[in-house]
Amino acid sequence: MTIIFNPTQLVIQLPETLQQKTWHKTQNAATPNSRWQTYLNQLTLDAFIPSAKEEQEASVKPWLNSQTLANISELVNGTAIILGDAKVVLIPSEAEDLEELRLPQEWIDIPEWVADYYLAVQVNVDAGFLRIWGYTTHQQVKKQGTYDPIDRTYTLDDTDLITDLNAFWVARELCPEEETQTAVSPIPAISSTQANNLISRLGSTEILVPRLAIPFTLWSALLQNEAWRNSLVEKRRGIERVSVLNWLQEEATNLAAQFGWRQVEFQPSIVGARGDMATAIPHKALAKQLTIGNQLYELKILPIETNTWRFELHSLALGAMIPTGVTLRLLTEDRQSFTGNEHTAISPVEMLDLEVELDPGEGLIWEIEPTPEDYQAEILRF
């Protein structure tokens, strides 16, 4: 079969070495279908970004870190980049005909996911190329796209797409203030109980397409909370988290290490440990190494007394202080604040710390600003 390329489209070669390297990145996916979807998205990302950097002097980078994008790719087709000050979503497809672009509803109707531009990408692994054959804007999708409630996609015919990719680069250069987005409705909130029930149900890999198994309002609420989304992916991969207390009561487990945590010793007198918990698990804490602004830090979780825990952040550089403006924050599972949930350095300090009392089984999400490299929102259960 002879493949004829339109000179106005962007064609990128996919060397075997790139394909193999990308394939190795995607082996943690839960099912063969989600693994292949993740692979196509990652391959598109790995091939497009270097090409975009050649075309544009503006910064080009993934929208989120690699693990977060991989988790999204397991659940929804598409991957996002930041191109200068614009957000661009790449939608890969193996379809041989270029008659339409099908966009998952998540990229169009979840406010935090909405992009400025959407690029139609044909991926041909066997022939070793991908082709960017058209693009559109969010505004145009909402105005001209046809919504299909069966597979929850917006469809645009090829005649509604701009197929000259040169126009894309020119538009980015000459019209950076072009209005590309349309306002979308906020996603109704759900409770942590609802979310955990949904994660338990959708965590079964017998449900091949979880995005279509529940109403979009519930699904989108689950997705836009990164910690819930990550919990769902873990569940589908067969990863069962245990409580922080369980991690401390046993030797450092492989599961804890898988999430970057390890056991460390501490002196209870330093943090004022007291009560039954200090007696039951003396001198043990959890610690995670973080990189923030090219500097190494350590986040610790220490038991103080029964149901009381202390979070500590400090620099690992000898004699270094935590700079002004850094914030350590704790949130509930549904990302709500509470009294005393954050500590910000108003001047250079040796340590940021928070102390919380929690009911057994209660969960928390930790955050730090500026965001650490490769940060993954996680629900720590106590």
Pairing label, strands 153-157, 79-83: unpaired
CATH number at residue 31: 3.40.1350
Model confidence pLDDT, tens digit, residues 91-119? 999 999 899 999 999 999 999 999 999 99
Answer yes or no: do 373 and 280 share one domain: yes
Close Cβ partners of 43 (under 8 Å, ≥ 6 residues apart): 14, 18, 19, 22, 92, 123, 125, 130
The whole-angstrom separation of Cα 31 and Cα 57 is 38
| Residue 367 structural domain | 244-381
Answer yes or no: do 164 and 31 share one domain: yes
- CA-nearest of 231, 366, 379, 230 to 298 is 366
SS3 content of the chain, % helix, strand, coil (to 5): 35, 30, 40
Answer yes or no: do 23 and 140 share one domain: yes
Task: Kindly state the DSSP code that residue 112 receives in the 8-state scheme.
Answer: G
State how far the alpha carbon of 244 is from the alpha carbons of 86, 221, 249, 289, 307, in Å: 40, 26, 9, 17, 11
Note the Cα 326 to chain centre separation in Å: 22
The whole-angstrom separation of Cα 184 and Cα 279 is 53
Which residue in the block uniquely carries the two structure tokens 């390329």?
5
Answer yes or no: do 127 and 144 share one domain: yes
61: exposed, middle or buried (Cβ count in 10 Å: 0-12, 13-18, 19+): exposed
* 4, part of any domain: no
Model confidence pLDDT, tens digit, residues 208-254? 999 999 999 999 999 999 999 999 999 999 998 888 988 887 754 66
Answer yes or no: do 215 and 134 share one domain: no
The whole-angstrom separation of Cα 234 and Cα 30 is 9
Number of domains in the chain: 3
Answer yes or no: do 278 and 339 share one domain: yes
Answer yes or no: do 274 and 363 share one domain: yes
* 180, part of any domain: no
Q: What is the pTM of this model?
A: 0.91
Element holding 121 (H helix, E strand): strand 117-124
pLDDT tens for the chain, 382 residues: list them. Answer: 445 567 778 899 999 999 999 999 999 999 999 999 999 999 999 999 998 888 776 689 999 999 999 999 999 999 999 998 899 999 999 999 899 999 999 999 999 999 999 999 999 999 999 999 999 999 999 999 999 999 999 999 999 999 988 888 887 777 767 889 999 999 999 999 999 999 999 999 999 999 999 999 999 999 999 999 999 999 999 998 888 988 887 754 666 778 899 888 876 654 444 455 444 444 789 999 999 999 999 999 999 888 899 999 999 998 899 999 999 999 999 999 999 999 999 999 999 999 999 999 999 999 999 999 999 999 999 9
* 187, part of any domain: no
* 113, part of any domain: yes
The whole-angstrom separation of Cα 9 and Cα 11 is 6
Answer yes or no: do 220 and 303 share one domain: no
Answer yes or no: do 93 and 69 share one domain: yes
- Last-in-domain residue among 236, 254, 272: 236
The whole-angstrom separation of Cα 212 and Cα 65 is 26
* 168, part of any domain: yes
* Encoded amino acid at 283, one letter: H
- Last-in-domain residue among 236, 265, 290: 236
Answer yes or no: do 356 and 268 share one domain: yes
Answer yes or no: do 203 and 268 share one domain: no
Pairing label, strands 129-137, 153-157: unpaired
* 335, part of any domain: yes
Answer yes or no: do 227 and 253 share one domain: no
* 67, part of any domain: yes
* 182, part of any domain: no
